[in-house]
Structure 1
Amino acid sequence: MAKGVKKIKVTSGFTYPKMSVLGQRITIKPGEWVQFEVDEWLPGTTAEEKKKELIWMRQSGDRKIIIYQVPSVIGYRFRISKQLCGSYFYYIEASMSGKRDFKNNTGIYVKGWCEPKIVSSKWSTQKGSKSIKNSNKVNYISYGHIVHLNLMTEGLNGNTLIIELWNQQRAKNDKLVFVYTDVQVIDGEVNLRIENTYAWMAFVDNIQNVEEFYIKVKDTASKQYIKDKLGDDLHAIYLNVKNKVATSNTNGVYNQTPTKVYKPDVSNARYEPCKFEVINITENEVKDGKANNTTVTVFENGKGLKHKNAPQENIHRTIFYKFDSTIIDKDGEEILNNILKFLLEHKGSTINLSGYACVIGKENYNKGLSQRRADIVKKFFADGGLDPARIISVGKGEVDPTDDKKGRDNIRYKNEKDYENNRRVDISFTFNAHDAHTIVYEALAPSSDINLTVATSGLINKGCFRGKDKHEKKVIVKSPEYTSPYEINQSSLAFPVHSQLAAANVAPLNYIWPSFNLLSMQSSATIYNVFINSCRWFSNKNNAVVQVKVFPDIKWTVEFKWNHDQPFAYSFGNKLHPYDIQEGRKKVIGAEFDRATSKSFGEMDQSFALSLKAEWNRITQGRSSAPQTLELGHKWDGKIRRTLALFNKMKSMTEKISNSPLSQGRARFTIESPKIAFSAQWYLERAPKTSLDLTHMVVIGVSAKPLVEAKIEIDLWKIFIKFGGDAVCPGAGSIISWILDKLGKEAGMHFLISFSGGAYVDGKVTINTSYPKETTGEVKTTGKIQVVAEFKAWAKGGVGYLGFEGEVKADASTSVTAGIKVGADKNGIYTAPVAEFAGVKATFVAIGTVKLGVFKRTLTYEGESRLVMPDEIKFEKKYMNFDN
Structure 2
Amino acid sequence: MGEHQYTTIRIDGHACVIGKEEYNQKLSQQRSDAVKKVFTDGGLDPNRIIAIGRGEVNPTDDKSGADNIKYKDEKNNRENRRVDISFDSYGHDAQTIIYETIAPCHDIRWDDKNITIDVTEYQNKGCFRDKGVHNKNIRINSTEYKKPIDRVTDSLDFPIASNISQFNLYPLKYIWPKVFANEYAINVHSCRYFSNELNNTILIKVYPDIKWELALEFLVGLSNYRAVNMPKGNIYKAHQEKAREAGYKKWLMNKQGKVPIEVGVSLSAEWADGRHKRSYTQLFEKKIESIAKVIAKSTDLLQNAINFAQSAAKETSLPVAFDIRYPKLKVLGKWYLEKPENNNNIDIVGEVSLGFDPLIGAEVIIDIIGSAITAVAYGATANPAVAKMAENFRGKLEKLGGKLTFTATFYGELSVMIDALKISALNGTGEQGKVTIGGKMGITIAFVMKLEIGKTKNKDVVPIDINFKAEATAEGYFGGELTIDSDEKGWFMEPVLKFSGIMFTAQIEGEIGWWKSSFKIEERLIPDETKKLDKKYLN
TM bin, normalised by shorter chain, reads 0.3 to 0.5
By relative contact order (CA 8 Å, sep 6+), the higher-ranking structure is 2
Which one has a larger percent helix, Structure 1 or Structure 2? 2
TM-score by length of 2: 0.46
Higher gyration radius (CA) = 1
